[in-house]
Chains A and B, each alone.
Chain A
Amino acid sequence: MNPLRSLVRAAVLFLALAAAAWSASAADKLKLKDGRVLEGVVVREVDGGVFFRVKVGSIESQQFYAKADIAEIVRDKAAEGAAPAAPAGGTTPAPASPNSTETGTPIPDGAIGVTFVSLEEMVGPYMNARALLDSVELLKQKLPKEQRPKVLVLVFESGGGALLEVEPLSNAIHEKLKKDFRVVAWIRSAISAAAMTAMNCEEIYMMSEGNIGGAVAYSMVGPGQAKAADGANLEGILKMGQMLADRGKHPREIILSMQTLEPLSANIDDDGHVSFFNSETEGKYLINRKGYNLTFNALDAVKYKLAEGIADTKDQLMTRLGYKEWVEVGQFVDKDQIRFRQAVKTISARVQELYSKMNLAVGEAQSASSREDREKQVGRARNFLRELRELARQAPSVEKYGAGGSPPLTREFFDRMDRDLRRILNPDAR
């Protein structure tokens, strides 16, 4: 199958986020044949005209001027060779700690080092086991042993995603991270696959607006039509739920009510110990009625001891964890996760646009009357493909999950695309 076609079929139309930033110091001049002289920045020159960015007051706008209308372009020499503007969009990294550097922070005696890592957006492409481990691995690469954190806080904000990624995430947390760190889940929102992932952590803290639950597995079977997992498939998923609960030392009854419509009630004894029942009537406190699905708010998560407490700031959390003195270290780990997610986001947003532009170039190449024109258009198509490949390199999860509705962007996928373009250039070549 033609990968170009398969891509366009699968892709959802998104957009490029990057926009050239206005450079106040740059002042190219565009002299028009009608006598006007515009000051701004020549963003791009194309056949037949230029894209020119002008600024009036606080408002910037980019306009196209046909060569037929242009008398002269006067370039600002000072701006030439300036560093390219940073891409727009993306999550702003947290402010750096005054005591923290990329290379390490001395941890004072009696204080504890902690690293916060945000796990956000869709499980699978964005909340991804391989990406998480790669980011955490940076601690070993960049920090001497004595400056490494003892505590790793995973900050959850995700509405769920691919069930396929839950077990790799569970293994990453349980088999790797827990061996090196005191791993704490700190939850703003952990729904569905994110809830299942968080359940691996023995210590869960909620933000006051936090929620955890809603872990019914389903698949889409048509436009706006979903179907919950059932039969052997469901059995397997429920077993996995049990394993996750066991790994986090949480009651299996809770995760069952999150995965199904089973009821949940509880008793709380004088010592505050909570015992659970998947029944409406056995426990004094009815937590989830039969036929409903369970999502805990912060108050209930704490009341029924799924979570240890509520904390809205890092300081509150560390106090609740019992640390009076602490230092945030390894902020580059979170920055790496943010960079990774941004790459996935960019590729998701641009995949259809890049494909469409590539397809235009391919169409032009196929109908070109001369080899020179064909080569030029194939060259343009290859540029778009190169851009896509570079984005995919920065976001390894797209190999498994694709992006923006695309098929998985594997090496084979790109190789096929290359072959197709070669064939267009040399129709007789194999």
Chain B
Amino acid sequence: MTSKLLLGIGVLAAIVGLTGAVTPGTAAFARPEPAAAKADEAGETVDQLIFANGRVVEGKLISETATQVVFEVRKPRMPAVKTTYEKSEIIEIKRGVAKAASATPATAATPAAPASTMSDESSDKEKKPKREERADAYRIYLVNFKGDFGTDVSETPIGRIFDDADRVFNDLKTVDTPTGKMQVVKDEHRKQNIVLIKIDARTDPRRGFDGIWRTEQLDQRIVKEIFEKGRRVVFWVKDAEGGAAFLPFLSSEIYFTKDGYLGGFGTLDNFDIGDKMVNEKQISLRLGHAEGFAVKGGYGQLGCAIIRAMARKQNWLAVRKSGAGYEFIEREPKEEDGPGWIVLTDDGEGPNKDEKALDGNDVLNLNQEWAQKLGVSKGTADTFDDLVYAMGIDRNYVLLEAKEHGVKGEQIMRDWSRSVEQAESEIRQRPQPGRLWEEYRDVRMPSDLVGMQKAIGRQINILMQIRDRMVRFAEVFDREGQGKAQIDVMIERHKNDLAKVTRALREGGQASPGGGGNSGGGGRPGGGLR
């Protein structure tokens, strides 16, 4: 038989193991310069750069040419950073915007919030006087993406979260476009109304880099929200691993917790399908998809280089301070490159190979320090109050809550997780059969025809219940629908048995159904859960 020549990824589903993915040793890195912009922040106006992707940067315009803008970026409690931007990325430069109208806090000297954690937040809130909600207040819809990415966090709850946010914010308008009507966030609410996603989630580590495919399946609503509807979405990264690590890149606003971690997908070098050229093709196309996240979120060429260094052990990434930002090269720095290079990741070969998985630099994983230095993170905050401060919101915000504002976010996530867990306990096949499979197995086939009819009916019923769970949670358990198809065939077989028994009953004769349950032959589908 001749084999068909293929060009693509459709037939490949290689599972790549997680390597010793590590965070670069922080001891080797220089810390940022002490804050120099503090005094400047006392000024009453700021300049603003408004980017095509919706990002707004505040600070002082230093100079501009026909193609570039040199800008001193100022953030609360952060050193001023001089950065050069391409004008092609900027849609508007606003000069001398009053600070009150900007997102910058009134003063940089506002004391930091108490060091409570998010889990302590309810008690933290109780201690504070209740803020009065101002008309211009920022309204923040906080939701936790916690657990298994693709299971606890999947399409259905994400869709419900954003539906709920639309309901609570009530800030949409319908616009006509050349392709039809669509709903978008009203201009005056785009900055104020924020969906804040705290992420502490990971894809199955066995999927390694290929967790990205799950992310591409479930990110579609978030892409639509940010890029079509104009919803402001901010990510707060505690732990985003494997495929989950790509998701925050969709937003131009990422913050880290102090122990924040983003990475764990540096497994591409393990890809092996038996042919170097095909391996490289598969790696190349995967990187193409991954870099797309960085481009989409506005992280530019450096963002793409960061993704490459995070994905593949053999990729170098060295950075050097350049003006306000960092320049980078993706190879080992040479003498002619000059001094000051910091190697974030080497090729992991020979003497560069790391002995320990967790303290080397064979692949890049981002901690809060380097995420911020490289411009991936906008700031670091462990508590909600610290976070809003870092976002430049100061005190003029309302954290939307379940009781007061009818926010259902946490309930949606919790209910979904519980339902999935419940369904799994009923229909899983390994390591122990779930409750429904146990019940199916325990159906006894009596010798009388009426009893047989009932028993087969019971078997069909149980299979229908399993099928129902598979359909309801298809995005988690049965994405391609193979399990459901197998159940359908089993049901068909039982229906044949039932027809025989019914016929025999009608004719007053004997029948022996061919399959099902303990009478043998019914079997369980080969595929299915875990």
A66 to B453, CA, bound (A): 7
Q: Would B180 and A96 count as touching, CB distance under 8 A?
A: yes
* Most chain B CB atoms below 10 A, which of A48, A69, A228: A48
Residue from A61, A160, A222, A349 in contact with B10 in the complex, judged by beta carbons closer than 8 Å: A160
B292 interface residue (CB < 8 Å to A) = yes
Residue from B275, B283, B468, B471 in contact with A218 in the complex, judged by beta carbons closer than 8 Å: B275
Residue from B295, B485, B488, B489 in contact with A299 in the complex, judged by beta carbons closer than 8 Å: B295
| B272-295 interface with A by 8 A CB criterion | 273-278, 280-285, 287-289, 291-293, 295
B450 interface residue (CB < 8 Å to A) = yes
Residue from A49, A208, A212 in contact with B498 in the complex, judged by beta carbons closer than 8 Å: A49
- Residues on A with C-beta less than 8 A from B282 are 214
Q: A64-B457, A68-B450, A291-B280 are in contact. Are A162 and B6 (CB under 8 A)?
A: yes
**Stretch in B23-31, B237-245, B334-342, B459-467 with 4+ CB within 8 Å of A:** B459-467
Q: Would B8 and A194 count as touching, CB distance under 8 A?
A: yes
**Stretch in A172-180, A266-274, A350-358 with 4+ CB within 8 Å of B:** A350-358
Nearest-CB distance from B494 to chain A (Å)?
A: 9
Q: Would A68 and B481 count as touching, CB distance under 8 A?
A: no
Nearest-CB distance from B471 to chain A (Å)?
A: 7
- Residues on A with C-beta less than 8 A from B481 are 14-17, 349
Q: A64-B464, A216-B277 are in contact. Are A295 and B502 (CB under 8 A)?
A: no
Q: Would B277 and A327 count as touching, CB distance under 8 A?
A: no
Can you list, as one digit per residue, whether each of A214-229 has a CB less than 8 Å from chain B (1) or not (0)? Answer: 1111111110111111
A191 to B289, CA, bound (A): 10
A228 to B503, CA, bound (A): 58
**Stretch in A23-31, A133-141, A312-320, A336-344 with 4+ CB within 8 Å of B:** A312-320
| A199-253 interface with B by 8 A CB criterion | 208-222, 224-229, 233, 237
A359 nearest CB neighbor, chain B only? B489
A162 to B8, CA, bound (A): 8
Can you list, as one digit per residue, whether each of A29-72 has a CB less than 8 Å from chain B (1) or not (0)? Answer: 00000000000000000111101000000011111111111000
Question: Is chain B's interface secondary structure helix, strand, loop, or mixed overall?
Answer: helix
A117 to B462, CA, bound (A): 44
Q: Would B7 and A15 count as touching, CB distance under 8 A?
A: no
Can you list, as one digit per residue, whether each of B435-474 has a CB less than 8 Å from chain A (1) or not (0)? Answer: 0000000000000001001101100110011011001100
A360 interface residue (CB < 8 Å to B) = yes
A95 to B478, CA, bound (A): 29
A349 to B479, CA, bound (A): 12
Residue from B8, B295, B464, B483 in contact with A62 in the complex, judged by beta carbons closer than 8 Å: B464
Q: Would B492 and A48 count as touching, CB distance under 8 A?
A: no
Inter-chain residue pair count (beta carbon < 8 A): 267
**Stretch in B97-105, B171-179, B189-197 with 4+ CB within 8 Å of A:** B171-179
A221 to B1, CA, bound (A): 11
A164 interface residue (CB < 8 Å to B) = yes
Q: A62-B464, A69-B454, A299-B304 are in contact. Are A98 and B281 (CB under 8 A)?
A: no
Q: Would A227 and B450 count as touching, CB distance under 8 A?
A: no
Q: Would B300 and A299 count as touching, CB distance under 8 A?
A: yes
- Residues on B with C-beta less than 8 A from A215 are 7, 281
Q: A216-B280, A219-B3 are in contact. Are A192 and B8 (CB under 8 A)?
A: yes
Q: Would A217 and B178 count as touching, CB distance under 8 A?
A: no
- Residues on A with C-beta less than 8 A from B283 are 293
How many of B's residues come within 8 Å of A, CB to CB? Answer: 76
A39 to B282, CA, bound (A): 53
Q: Would A95 and B182 count as touching, CB distance under 8 A?
A: yes
A388 interface residue (CB < 8 Å to B) = no
A49 nearest CB neighbor, chain B only? B457
Q: Would B277 and A209 count as touching, CB distance under 8 A?
A: no
- Residues on B with C-beta less than 8 A from A357 are 488-489, 492
Q: Would B277 and A95 count as touching, CB distance under 8 A?
A: no
Q: Would B471 and A19 count as touching, CB distance under 8 A?
A: yes
A398 interface residue (CB < 8 Å to B) = no
* Most chain B CB atoms below 10 A, which of A94, A99, A295, A326: A295
Q: Would A192 and B178 count as touching, CB distance under 8 A?
A: no
Q: Would A68 and B457 count as touching, CB distance under 8 A?
A: yes
Nearest-CB distance from B277 to chain A (Å)?
A: 4
Q: Would A163 and B5 count as touching, CB distance under 8 A?
A: yes
A196 interface residue (CB < 8 Å to B) = yes
Q: A159-B9, A164-B5, A227-B275 are in contact. Are A349 and B485 (CB under 8 A)?
A: yes
Nearest-CB distance from A192 to chain B (Å)?
A: 4
A216 to B464, CA, bound (A): 45
Q: Would B296 and A209 count as touching, CB distance under 8 A?
A: yes
Nearest-CB distance from A185 to chain B (Å)?
A: 16
Q: A47-B502, A211-B288, A226-B278 are in contact. Are A159 and B453 (CB under 8 A)?
A: no
Q: Would A292 and B280 count as touching, CB distance under 8 A?
A: yes
B12 interface residue (CB < 8 Å to A) = yes
Q: Would A295 and B6 count as touching, CB distance under 8 A?
A: no
- Residues on A with C-beta less than 8 A from B453 are 48-49, 66-68
Nearest-CB distance from B322 to chain A (Å)?
A: 18
Nearest-CB distance from A115 to chain B (Å)?
A: 11
8 interchain pairs (CB within 8 A)?
Answer: A15-B484, A17-B481, A49-B453, A64-B460, A209-B289, A214-B288, A226-B278, A350-B485
The 8 closest A-B pairs by CB, nearest first: A160-B8, A15-B485, A211-B288, A66-B457, A15-B481, A209-B292, A214-B285, A295-B288
Seen from chain A, the residues whose Cβ lies within 8 Å of a Cβ on chain B are 12-17, 19, 46-49, 51, 59-69, 94-99, 121-123, 158-164, 166, 189, 191-194, 196, 208-222, 224-229, 233, 237, 260-261, 291-299, 312-315, 318, 326-328, 349-350, 352-353, 356-357, 360, 364
